[in-house]
A and B are shown apart, each in its own frame.
Chain A
Amino acid sequence: NAGVTQTPKFQVLKTGQSMTLQCAQDMNHEYMSWYRQDPGMGLRLIHYSVGAGITDQGEVPNGYNVSRSTTEDFPLRLLSAAPSQTSVYFCASRLGQGADAQHFGDGTRLSIL
């Protein structure tokens, strides 16, 4: 079982470049989300989706775009990378609401120079 797969694992960008972090899950989960993890800040929600075609903003959405064209995929786009976006990014999925546990990908370590 692959679970939640994130690519790439590491990436270095220059300020102003754009890129897409890929996330795919093979568990037919409705809910997918993106977090960033920074020292002392815990996990902060960037964007989430409750199903194909439905996305919404989380706590820190500025500078990021998402789309959900299929149940399986939930890419995160950095439009114009800034040093403040240097972080570790986690994609997660969850079958539904309430009691369902959230499953995480292994993370993408992103550095913006």
Chain B
Amino acid sequence: AQKVTQAQTEISVVEKEDVTLDCVYETRDTTYYLFWYKQPPSGELVFLIRRNSFDEQNEISGRYSWNFQKSTSSFNFTITASQVVDSAVYFCALSEGLYSGAGSYQLTFGKGTKLSVIP
């Protein structure tokens, strides 16, 4: 069975600080996919990034960066120079590979980390 753990329930930072959101996953598959979603105060869920298990390169998109480490089963998300608009709940999710039956259609979500950026 797959599992995603986001141990940080809530984080508060002052604007312009860097912040890292942790995500640890468990899966028995060798092929899997990891996702991050953002849920701003308005409530919608916004897809941020996808990473497959064969690609351990870190990714940077503007102020956002993701660190994928298979050795520690982690897929952490860092926001550099945080802004008030980054205040949201962030969810990490896991999807198994193509040959895991109906389970591979399902995304397993962590419980989310609420980030508050204080001006």
Contacts and interface: CB of A to CB of B under 8 A. Distances in A.
Interface residues of A, number: 26
Interface string A27-44: 000110100000011110
Given A42-B91, A42-B110, A106 B44 contact: yes
B33 interface: yes
A98 interface: yes
Contact of B109 (A43, A48, A88): A43
Most buried by B among A45, A50, A90, A101: A101
Interface of A: 30-31, 33, 40-43, 45, 48, 50, 56, 58, 88, 90, 92, 94, 96-99, 101-104, 106-107
Chain B's interface size range is 20 to 34
Given A43-B109, A90-B45, A99 B50 contact: yes
A90 B44 CA distance: 9
B66 to A, nearest CB: 15
A27 B93 CA distance: 22
Contacts, number: 58
Given A98-B98, A102-B93, 16 more contacts: A31-B105, A33-B106, A41-B111, A42-B112, A48-B106, A50-B102, A56-B102, A88-B43, A97-B97, A97-B104, A98-B33, A98-B97, A98-B104, A99-B95, A104-B45, A106-B43
Contacts of A99: 33, 50, 52, 95
Most buried by B among A42, A45, A92: A42
A96 B50 contact: no
B107 interface: yes
